[in-house]
A and B are shown apart, each in its own frame.
Chain A
Amino acid sequence: MAVNQAKQAVEFSQSFYTSLFEVQDGERFKNCIQCASCSGACPYGYLMTMPPGKMIAYLRADLFEKVLTNDTVWMCISCYACTEICPQNIPVTPGLMTRAKEELLLAGNVPDELQDALMNSQRYGNPLGESPRKRALWTKGIEPEIPILRQAKRPVDVLWFVGDYASYHPRIQITTKAFAEILNTLGIDFGILGPEENSDGDSQRLAGESGLFEMLAEKNGKAFSKYQFNQIVTTDPHAYNAIKNEYPALGISYPVQHYTEFLRERLDDLKPLLKGNGHTRVTYHDPCYLGRVNEIYEEPRELLQAIPGVELVEMAHNRSTSLCCGGGGGGMWLDGFQWEKAHTRTTEWRVRESLSVGADVLAVACPYEAPRFEDATKTIQGASSLAVKDVVELLLEAMEEKAD
């Protein structure tokens, strides 16, 4: 019996190892030199029983089942810091970490709060558990009316993929409405899917729920195929990443831009509208799925610098070394679990960094971030004067007349 179990354990390790080779550049796992840079770069690596480097060592020793008996894999926020720093260019996040989460999920070893978000995504098409019929409720009262494609019945230039938090979260709705206003001001011909839109599914995928990701992607693909448009734009780097890099493998291919790219291309039209509201020190937080994963570093900075009076200052962690807000890879739905393990939050470290460079505003470009960082400003001493604003909100403020 014991011999059989040992044999099964070896087989499991080996089949898991082989499955990593199917991921893009997955063969590079063979090149790991055990330098542990990944474990060191990981924001939560210091408290993982099995940080990524050690996971690979256990995998090679056919002891991978030991990795799956502890739950610190759920501290991984899929921020790509490990993947970015790896000298051998091993796809640690999309390969090892995501596959490990898939195995944990299949084995039923999933923290409860994450289960709820996954179940909500299955049932309602959004992790928040909100009514899918109310997905476009945020548009109420906006003039001119935001066209919902099913009702508009006409082709549009731009399909705006709004996303979950941008649609439902009261804080992010401020960002969403600001973007709508800018689109209207620039005279962009756009529309949204409204209730036909489902979660992009990317964070669910990175939390190990690949089947759910496919289900959600198929629903979005079906909705996309019903309408005529030239391109997709989204304010959500996770949706951007899914549509750009993951949907094509499922036969869903559309040109997509993050709004920072889209607006940067239209900076000539935008710039004359920006009046500025006096001198402001702004620091910019690179979202993982905009920066490290898709290498969009300059567009958001160029937009910020186009605002008169904005002085852009960089934090120690910037561009490819940006420090995750903690929301990625399921982290958005693991706050309680992660707090129990860490008793600290990456957002708190980030807010301290913002203060250390004397910033008045912490600028963000991802719908996960504003509420997470704002929350941290309430617990860090001296941070109450730090404003957290999406780039799009700063642009809109600069377009409006000064209040005083």
Chain B
Amino acid sequence: MNITALFKLVPDLVEELEIDDSGTALDMEWLRLIINEFDDHAVEEAILLKERSEATVTVIAPDNEGVDDVLYTAAARGADRLIQLMGDFEDGVNNHALARAVAETIKGIQTDLILTGVQAHDDLDGSLGPLLAEYLNMPYIGYVSGVELSDGIAVVKKEYPGGLIGEMEVKLPAVLGIQAAEEPPRYVAVSKVRMAMKTASIEELEIADLDPSGGPEISRMFQPEVGERATMITGDEDEIAARLVEIFKEIGAL
């Protein structure tokens, strides 16, 4: 059984996001990147499946600053093969382009199951999983929080609103959008990651030109604007209380 887990790096919200001069994209210069949380769960689910069923796990990620550290961490967690997609990813790409690039790569490696995060906070053109499944002509199930593998099929748990869970069977190969791994992503000791940096190797695969067609064109990106109806009252407690009383009187509430 060959399992492929796919992750991408997304802006880390620990830093303020800034819009670049074009006004249509994030300023990448000060951006800190972090593994998409749902993708982290996809990698974890792949490792958990490997531990249960002796599968081989390949982890694929597009090139970005710091991606090699995350790939080596995946190796320290138990991934067998690390693939870094080399291309013009630096300024960010939409999921249509990324899905096409990944689909081409995956056609070259034999895989039975593809796991990716169900969503990411920079999915401006829909999530990656369904696009990837379309380009690979495979079935897709999203919002998955549990996977059991048996001969040629996977039985998956899919989450529905209202706390409902559906159990369904899918023929392999298939693409799954992981909502949550069966156990939270494990912490690996820094010493193990450092060891993986010495023993594991990252295969760099050049990809053909990125094709973003089908995705949206961004005309303007901006910070949420303050609504005109909101009034911020400043001052100490007494001042704020006095002003509130005034306002209540003005609008006839008192």
Contacts and interface: CB of A to CB of B under 8 A. Distances in A.
A215 B190 contact: yes
Given A108-B187, A130-B14, A131-B15, A211 B34 contact: no
Contact of B191 (A115, A131, A210): A210
A209 B189 contact: yes
Nearest to B30: A133
Most buried by A among B12, B34, B184, B190: B190
A124 interface: yes
Given A112-B184, A123-B34, A211-B194, A106 B15 contact: no
Interface string A96-108: 0000001001101
B5 to A, nearest CB: 18
Interface residues of B, number: 14
Given A123-B34, A124-B14, A130-B14, A108 B190 contact: no
A118 interface: yes
Contacts of B190: 122, 209, 211-212, 214-215
Interface in A86-133: 102, 105-106, 108, 110, 112, 115, 118-119, 122-124, 129-131, 133
B14 A211 contact: no
B195 to A, nearest CB: 9
A133 B186 CA distance: 27
B192 interface: yes
Contacts of A106: 189, 191-192
A110 B187 CA distance: 8
B14 A131 contact: yes
Interface string A212-253: 101100000000000000000000000000000000000000
Interface in A119-165: 119, 122-124, 129-131, 133
Given A106-B192, A123-B34, A211-B194, A115 B187 contact: yes
Contacts of B14: 124, 129-131
Interface residues of A, number: 22
Contacts of A124: 14
Nearest to A122: B190
Contact of A212 (B12, B15, B189): B189
Nearest to B184: A112
Interface string B19-42: 000000000000000100000000
B197 to A, nearest CB: 12
Contacts of B186: 108, 115
Contacts of A122: 190
A209 B193 CA distance: 12
Interface string B170-205: 000000000000001011111111100000000000
Contacts of B189: 102, 105-106, 209, 211-212
A42 B92 CA distance: 53
B15 A119 contact: no
Contacts of A214: 190
A210 to B, nearest CB: 7
B20 to A, nearest CB: 18
A118 B187 contact: yes
A370 B194 CA distance: 36
Nearest to A108: B186
Contacts of B12: 123
B9 to A, nearest CB: 12
B187 A119 contact: yes
A34 to B, nearest CB: 32
Nearest to A216: B190
A212 B34 CA distance: 18
A211 B191 contact: yes
A135 to B, nearest CB: 12
Nearest to B34: A123
Contacts of A119: 187
**A-B pairs with the 5 shortest C-beta distances?**
A211-B190, A211-B191, A115-B187, A212-B190, A131-B14
Given A210-B191, A211-B189, A214-B190, 12 more contacts: A102-B189, A106-B189, A106-B191, A106-B192, A110-B187, A115-B187, A124-B14, A130-B14, A209-B189, A211-B190, A211-B193, A215-B190
22 contacts: A105-B187, A105-B189, A106-B192, A108-B187, A110-B187, A112-B184, A115-B184, A115-B186, A118-B187, A119-B187, A130-B14, A131-B15, A209-B189, A209-B190, A211-B189, A211-B191, A211-B192, A211-B193, A211-B194, A212-B189, A212-B190, A214-B190
